Copies of this chain bind each other. A is one copy, B any other.
Amino acid sequence: MGNESGQNFQRRHQQIPLAVIKRLPVYHRYLSDLHQKEVARISSSELAAKIGITASQLRQDLSWFGSFGQQGYGYRVDELLREVSRILGLNQNIGMVLVGAGRLGRAIIHYANFKRRGFHTKAIFDNNPEIVGQIIDGIPVYDISELENYLKNHSIQIGVITTPATVAQEVADRLVRSGIKGIWNFAPVSLKVPDDVIVEHVHIGESLMVLSMKLQQRKASGPDS
């Protein structure tokens, strides 16, 4: 079923709008929750209410992925969860390396249930001789000089950058030259990469600034606006 399924995927999913893509992890979260609670079916209006969108929006989103649910019967939670997981590329055994074993790097390795979702951090790289050689949660820390050689010999799809901003671009360049096509960047710097490389940037500091600014605006415009 591998190939045919791949082609169906291609035909059906190529043009999914970014707004829909961004809602999928939210669907995934709620569906996982329902599945754990052994809820078998859910109506589109119930699921939509949980997520905070309209039922018609939900039905429209899901229509991108084929036909789910029957009028009056709602959606089968397990079926929908499986499809959403598949589209999200979960449970595919995705190999990751993480560069930068500081506090943030260590926190990220632990965050959420990456492993349960098929993401495996295989190696960590750092330039600090005191950290190199350690095992962090079962994952070995190598010297950054070994990065290229490691990537040549292992199947790695995603590079995670948790270095200081000053070296993030250099690290990204090295990952890209080694053939990495997906970068998950936590450094507060916009990375320049070729068009065929996908960067997801987690804007931690910028998020705090946006919060601060909204509070500032709220204060300026008074409690009634």
Binding site for B on A (CB under 8 A): 6, 9-10, 13-14, 16, 21-22, 24-26, 28-29, 51-52, 87-90, 92, 94, 102-104, 106-108, 110-112, 114, 117, 119, 157-158, 181-184, 188-190, 196, 198, 200, 202-218, 220-223, 225
Contacts and interface: CB of A to CB of B under 8 A. Distances in A.
A190 B14 contact: no
A157 B215 contact: yes
A10 B220 CA distance: 5
A13 B219 CA distance: 12
List 7 tightest A-B contacts by C-beta distance, closest first. Answer: A89-B216, A25-B206, A107-B107, A200-B211, A112-B205, A89-B212, A103-B107
B24 A209 contact: yes
Given A198-B218, A200-B208, 7 more contacts: A88-B213, A89-B209, A90-B209, A103-B107, A112-B205, A114-B208, A202-B204
